[in-house]
Amino acid sequence: MRSVAEHGTQHRYFEYRLVLVDGQWRIDRVLSFFDPPGAPLVDEREAERLLAAAQTGGPLDAINTDLELNIPDLFAVGREVAPFGTPATISVHRIGDLSCRSGVLTVRDFGYNGFDLEPLARRVPSGTYPVEIAMVDKTNVALRLRLSDFPAATWHPAQRTNGTHIVGVDYANVAILDLADLVRCEAQQVEELFVRQADQLETGPGTIFSLLGDVTDAAMVTSGYGDGAYPCYWGVAADGTLVALVVDFLVLTEDKQLTLTAPWRPGIIDVPGLGSLEVEIVEHDGGFTVHHRGGRIRRIRALGPDDAVLMDGDRLGLTVTGNLHSQTWPTNDQPPPGTLLELTVDHGYRHV
């Protein structure tokens, strides 16, 4: 049985699963969908574009120099860590094998359905590969698709065809899927699969399943602490072959910070170390406003020539418009000569 509810231009489709009880049909389960029955996840032309975008070769980018990564240590069984304050050890669990017949993988939040389907830019050899989860105290630390038993000599961002190696998550999961099989699915089929596999994550760290019913071509795991943005990396052997695909859930990391100073004066701030960060001091009646965009500033202070704190941004309000952040220092006094603007900015992170 099916029905549809209309809310203006939006439609919600419902399917009623029935069971026979004492000779009478009863509703056992109600499923709801955003797409009508029979609608493809994507149209044929878009599916062809997505699959053709992945390539078998080409250079891989280097990891950002602001990052101090030790990806193998994320899977070091028995290593003692304390991400939650209490010492615990890393364990690694093989949740199954994933088959990729097309060589085109996508890594994504499976709850996105037909949105954000861009594949990894690099194809993998057709084959079946172990899927492993590194865990600490029931929290997933990292996901690994092991493409070879050879060790990785180098690590590189596993970029998607849209240029990013970061996976956005809004439904607390990350999935690795054979994209060629995924784009053959109907939209309602994918929605139902997501609900079914999300239920499986209630009792375990991950699940392996089939998109089309013939091979296990999909893996889905709980994404560390939940929603967020998680980087993907290729492990590459000395001979240039891909040996691993890793998604880091940023559980075993600590932020790096950099403190910069510049003379306090209205206008654009230009000092070494700012990189793409844009900072400007604007003077107005009754004070100054510090505007910044392009990066994350942890703290803003104004320091007098004797290192006295004249202004502490932690005590000021913050206004955010798009990616423009503004903090206003209400003062009728001019800072004394020699006053400095001190900025504490994010400077990547390191694995612990």
List, for residues 107-166, the tens digit of each pLDDT value.
999 999 888 899 999 999 999 999 999 999 999 999 999 999 999 999 999 999 999 999
pLDDT averaged over the chain?
92
Q: Given pLDDT bands bounded at 50, 70 and 90, which one contains residue 1?
A: low
pLDDT digits (tens, 9 = 90+) for 292-336: 998 788 999 999 999 999 999 999 999 999 889 999 999 999 999
- Distance (Å, whole) CA 342 – CA 312: 10
Q: Say what the pLDDT of residue 26 is.
A: 79
pLDDT digits (tens, 9 = 90+) for 176-205: 999 999 999 999 999 999 999 999 999 999
- Distance (Å, whole) CA 302 – CA 333: 13
Tell me the CB-side half-sphere exposure of residue 162, using CA atoms within 13 A.
13
H-type alpha helices, 156-246: 179-182, 187-200
The total number of residues shown for the chain amounts to 352
Q: Say what the pLDDT of residue 113 is.
A: 87
Q: Say what the pLDDT of residue 103 is.
A: 97
- CA angle 131/133/139 to nearest 5° reads 155
Tell me what the mean pLDDT of segment 276-280 comes to.
Answer: 91
Does residue 47 carry a pLDDT above 80? yes
Least confident of 28-37, 218-227, 235-244, 327-336: 28-37
Comparing 248 with 37, the larger pLDDT belongs to: 248
72: alpha, beta or left, given left = phi > 0 and alpha = psi -120 to 50?
alpha
Q: Say what the pLDDT of residue 21 is.
A: 79
Q: Say what the pLDDT of residue 86 is.
A: 92
- Distance (Å, whole) CA 54 – CA 113: 20
Does residue 92 carry a pLDDT above 70? yes
Residue 119 DSSP class: P
Q: Say what the pLDDT of residue 20 is.
A: 76
Please check whether residue 83 is in contact with residue 200, taking contact to mean a CB–CB distance below 8 angstroms.
Answer: no
Q: Say what the pLDDT of residue 34 is.
A: 65
